[in-house]
Amino acid sequence: MPSSKKILYFISSAVSTAVSVGLLGFGMSQEWSTTTVLCARDGTDEFNGTAAVTMGLFNGSLFRDNCPGFQTEASFSAFDKLLETGGAPPALHFLSVILLALCLLFSAGSILLSLYNSVSNPYQTCMGYVGVYACSSLSACLSVLVLILFVINVSVTNLAEEVVFTIVREVELGKKSVEMKVGYYLVIPYTVLSLLAIGLIYFYEHAAYTHKQEQEKPTEDAPMETMMY
């Protein structure tokens, strides 16, 4: 039976990961970015209108103000609309969603392994703390990659412009500005909590190793006569 200290650390690691999964799951259902693009009618140089493309992982919307015409809003499925645009934006978007799904999968593995270790001692197998390290590390690394890929997709590629052109074509687009939304920012605490889960297990393993070394030290330092006797 594991010690109460081990139970506490591994349960804390599981709770930390579970909270991170809740945050990420909620974030995946929220808006991730809004890209505002200046626009004008074809043949004119007056960019007096705007088109705001709000993207989530699964749904999006386009709000047009004098671009052209009066204020209008259209909602769309993110996957279907991005497939219409083609090129890099749909590939990066799909990759981000897949990586987030893998994050949830590895986090689930980390939770299960932490709970298993809280009631057993599988130190020498991948079911031990090494498995928790691996799952939580992969979750943290993949989530950071998602942060990079998504911001590149909305800032560097022509995602917003292509979405606008699929709905209205007689328009000329100008400069754009990007605002990241709550869904995107919730990936950050997910990453931090995944790293915290690793840290908790590391602190326990380090303390256990130090305690073991201190117990062995008197034997190593004993006089030779005593050892021979």
> Which among 12, 9, 13, 8 has a CA at the least distance from the CA of 194?
13
Structure tokens, 229: 């006797």
Structure tokens, 182: 């709550």
Please give the Cα distance from 133 to 136 (Å, whole number): 5
The residue-averaged pLDDT of 60-85 equals 84
Q: State the pTM of this model.
A: 0.84
Give SS3 for 52: strand
Please give the Cα distance from 188 to 96 (Å, whole number): 15
> Which among 128, 119, 112, 127 has a CA at the least distance from the CA of 1?
119
pLDDT tens profile 148-172: 999 999 999 988 888 888 887 778 8
> Which among 61, 60, 56 has a CA at the least distance from the CA of 29?
56
pLDDT tens profile 193-227: 999 999 988 887 766 556 566 666 655 554 544 43
